Amino acid sequence: MDVAIIGDTHIPDRSTGIPDWVRERVEAADHTIHTGDFETPAVVDEVRSLADGAFTGVRGNVDVAGVDLPAVATVELGGVEFVVTHGTGDRIGYEDRVIAAVREHAGDTDTAVGVAGHTHEYTDEVHDGVRLLNPGSATGAAPATETTMLTATVRDGDIDVTRHRIGGR
């Protein structure tokens, strides 16, 4: 199963739209995860449409009241449990907040993967025994210095993650 992982699109305040190359990867994926900060319900609907309904998303700290998504969502794909949260709050303690969400919401914290956004910085690391993924910003929204997203191939509980990026400022 192929999974597109995007976040921090910030449309319309910091970007005018999702880049074509990101749209193509979302359309090609079997499932899409978005880590929040869409900004409006219309952007949620757009991403959900690109993903052909195979979509898991969470509310970010700048999402308006009409963005009707949970603060934390879990989804099992290809034998991997993803715990998705935005990661809202100060940069200090970010990883600990995300890992706490994984520990609270995962069925098996030994195999779960935490997916979060908020910092606009790509991350793929193990923190306190839990793998943490942050796709960065799929539109290059400030403070990002480039446009990034992740794709993951998941099968039988194994996950292979690839970072995709374009440009920089």
The pLDDT of residue 110:
79
- Was domain 2-166 assigned CATH 3.40.50.920? no
Q: What is the pLDDT of residues 104-119, one digit of tens each?
A: 999 887 789 999 999 9
**Please, which residues bridge with residue 150 across strands?**
5, 163
Residue percentage of the chain with pLDDT more than 90: 89
168 pLDDT above the threshold of 70: no
99 pLDDT above the threshold of 90: yes
Under the banding of pLDDT at 50, 70 and 90, the label for residue 143 is: very high
SS3 28: helix
CB under 8 Å, gap of 24 or more: what pairs does 20-23 form? Answer: 21/164, 21/166, 22/138, 22/139, 22/147, 22/149, 23/50
Rounded to two decimals, the pTM is 0.96
Return the domain boundaries, the chain: 2-166
SS3 1: coil
20-28 helix and 41-50 helix, angle to the nearest 10 degrees: 60
